[in-house]
Amino acid sequence: MGNYKSGFVAVIGRPNVGKSTLINKIIGQKVAITSDKPQTTRSRIQCILTHDDAQIIFLDTPGIHKPKFKLGEYMLKAAEGTLKEVDAIFFVIDATEKFGGGEKYILERLEATTKPVILVVNKVDLIDREKLLPILAEYSTRRDFAAVVPISAADGTNVEELIEEAKKFLPEGVQYYPADMVTDQPERLIIAELIREKLLHATQDEVPHSIAVDLEEFTTRDNGTIFIRATIYVERDSQKGILIGKGGAMLKKVGAAARPEIEMLIGTKVFLDLWVKVKRDWRNSLGALQSFGLKDF
């Protein structure tokens, strides 16, 4: 494997700029949940792309933002800690949004790193071409980027070019993971995240950040069906009512949306049993955060 390259690339940016959508497009399948709600990704998700000449391990991080809860502190710690462990950084911005405090906040944190930073200008499919140059000029005055790549994570524009750009900054090395492996995340965590994604899509603005999903049972029945019992935690009784819906309609909707993707993931029929419980102020509870798998506090 002479001249084979392998290494790590962090994907950072403020919430809702399309980081998880980009990761899924790069890998070629869903490994990170997506939503139009900000702060969808809560923990660092490691995703693996293997080519004949290189293996790139992408670290999809929570959106960097000033935290308001202990959960936010964890997300910021996960995102910033990733920058110390990688060979290159994708700084993803939204071409439809003006430069603001969020971008300034991230650039200030990037000042401490000597790693090459590639500016990834996402959502270029949503703007007129003549609007792109002023965006590039604005950011070029604020940092000397290793490269600048305009892309659309939604339709794949320039994503292959972005991958080739990343390879330039990788050291020569071994293939860390098998070629057919796309993530190191436990299956149970991916399933919990798929359920949370469907909840994010289905609920109103006051609920999403208060949702956590915990898989309490994952067993194989005699007929080969996988039985999954998942508990959805919220912070208030009113949120519980919203998630259950009239006659359980909301839970049924979420279950119907999540089940096919879970079955595709594990390759067998699934019986999905969803429950909703109230755990008050869990986003500020160290014990609750750790029980939901956020171990780094």
Query: What is the SS3 assignment for 192?
Result: helix
Whether 90 and 17 have beta carbons less than 8 Å apart is answered as: no
The fold of the 5-167 domain, in CATH, is Rossmann fold (3.40.50)
pLDDT, tens digit, 9 for 90 and up, residues 273-285? 999 999 887 766 5
Query: Once rounded to an integer, what is the mean pLDDT over residues 62-75?
Result: 50
DSSP for 220-240, written as a single string: E-TTSPEEEEEEEEESSHHHH
Write out pLDDT tens, residues 229-250: 999 998 888 889 989 999 999 9
pLDDT of amino acid 288: 55
- Report the run of H or E that residue 288 belongs to, with start and end: helix 286-291
| Radius of gyration (C-alpha) of the chain in whole angstroms | 20
Question: What tokens appear for 115 in the block?
Answer: 């790693």
- C-alpha to C-alpha distance for 7 and 60, rounded to whole angstroms: 14
Residue 265 backbone phi and psi in degrees, to 5: -65, -45
In the prediction, which pLDDT does 205 show? Answer: 59
- What confidence tens digit (pLDDT) does each residue in 6-53 have? 999 999 988 889 988 898 899 887 766 554 444 444 445 678 999 999
pLDDT at 95 over 90: yes
Q: What percent of the chain has pLDDT over 90?
A: 51
Angle at alpha carbon of residue 69, lines to 65 and 71, rounded to 5°: 80
> Could you give the CA distance from residue 252 to residue 65 in angstroms, rounded to a whole number?
33
Enumerate the CATH 3.30.300.20 domain ranges in the chain, comma separated.
187-291
182-198 mean pLDDT: 84
CATH fold label, 187-291: GMP Synthetase; Chain A, domain 3 (3.30.300)
Note whether 65 and 14 are within 8 A (CB).
yes
- 264: number of Cβ within 10 Å: 12
- Residue 118 parent element (H or E): strand 117-122
Segment among 148-157, 161-170, 186-195 with least mean pLDDT: 186-195
Give mean pLDDT, residues 215-230. Answer: 92
For CATH 3.40.50.300, list the domain ranges present in the chain: 5-167
Query: What pLDDT shows up at residue 65?
Result: 44
